[in-house]
Amino acid sequence: MKINNLFVWLKQKPRIAFFMCLPLILMVACLIIYPFFYSIFLATLNKAETKFVGLANFLFLFKRETFWLVVQQSIFFALVAVFFKALIGFIAAHSINELPSKGQRKWRGMLLIPWVIPPALSTLGWWWLFEPTYSALNWLLEKLSVDAIPWLSETFWARFSIILVNIWVGAPFFLIMYLAALKSIPEDLYEAASIDGANYWQKLFFITLPMMKNIISITILFSIIVTFANFDIVRVLTRGGPIDTTHLFATYAFRVGIESGDIPLGAAVSLFMFPVLAVLSFIILRNVRKRTNEV
């Protein structure tokens, strides 16, 4: 009888729904909510984690030049990388869309490869290309009688290389999103536009871009979040060097917290990402909801 009652109790829809979501809720709680609050707690401790120091860690960071450098670098890195990813993704999507449908699959598959390989591994491959002693790129430059480039050891080139690899990894995501958006634009809009008198560029500006506006903005916002929080590329290529000039929030937090052993300070660094990401996520979610309502 008791088991029977349990089944009746379970049969109500909201309860069933809750239990079906429970594994995910537990996972989010363990891997996101708990660490988040724990890092807030950590950030208020002293280095030895023995004493509550309030906001002292944050105030300390404000006084550090390196910290402000990291802030600037993270913003610069995210904006430049996302801009080029979006641009290249758009051009590539357009080019593929112009191909006859037979060839499209092949190109789409090949161009997706950078995005599918785990970035830590592919970045290692790039590191070999950049690597000072046996750099394949420099070997090529030498053959062309151009001076070798200190890819990872000079601030400008190190930043350049990191952004380059990030674009290489991330552009296919834009490509695939834009391609889907392009395919959803009805062909007869372009036909109507050609009869209305639009040339190629006018069709691009008056038809294609406005029709893709939503996808473009969501993809860019999403990519800013992912790029802003990037860790592996910098970690593998430069470890933040030379002299901290390629650190991002995530790698700097790792350096301060794990490598230098000041976990509370590292937690404080990583918490600075939170407001930026929270605002962006909020905008995305609102955007998605608005689009859903429109449909």
- Return the number of the residue (35 or 186) whose C-beta is nearest another protein: 186
Give the single-character DSSP code of 257. Answer: I
| Pair of tokens at residue 291 | 């689009």
Distances 36 to 40, 135, 257 between C-alpha atoms, Å: 6, 41, 15
Nearest distance from residue 94's CB to another protein, in Å?
Answer: 19
Among residues 177, 180, 200, the alpha carbon closest in space to that of 190 is found at 200
- Angle subtended at Cα 107 by Cα 102 and Cα 109, rounded to the nearest 5 degrees: 105
Q: Considering the complex, state which of residue 177 and residue 212 has its C-beta at the smaller distance from another protein.
A: 212
Q: Which two tokens stand for residue 179?
A: 């391609």
Q: Which residues pair with 45 in a beta bridge?
A: 52
Give me the amino acid identity at 9. W
Least distance in angstroms from the C-beta of 213 to another protein: 7
Residue nearer to another protein on the CB measure, 112 or 198 = 198
User: Looking at beta carbons only, is 95 or 202 nearer to another protein?
Assistant: 202
Q: Identify which of residues 202 and 260 has a Cβ nearer to another protein in the complex.
A: 202
Closest distance to another protein from the beta carbon of 282 (Å): 25
Pick the closer one to another protein by CB: 142 or 196. Answer: 196
Q: Exposed (0-12), middle (13-18) or buried (19+): which is 47, by Cβ within 10 Å? A: middle
Q: How far apart are CB 206 and another protein at their closest, in Å? A: 7
Report the interface residues with another protein, using CB under 8 A: 186, 188-189, 191-199, 202, 206-207, 210-211, 213
Nearer to another protein among residue 149 and residue 193 (C-beta): 193
Query: Smallest gap, in angstroms, from Cβ of residue 288 to another protein?
Result: 18
Q: How far is the CB of 193 from another protein (least distance, A)?
A: 8
Tell me, letter by letter, the H, E, C secondary structure of 175-213.
HHHHHHHHHCCCHHHHHHHHHHCCCHHHHHHHHHHHHHH
The DSSP output letter for 45 is: B
The angle that helices 155-183 and 209-228 make with each other, rounded to 10 degrees, is 140
With residues binned 3-state (H G I as helix, E B as strand, rest as coil), the percentages for the chain, rounded to 5, are 80, 0, 20
Rounded least distance, CB 294 to another protein, Å: 8
Question: Among residues 218, 281, 276, 280, which one has the least CA distance to residue 250?
Answer: 276
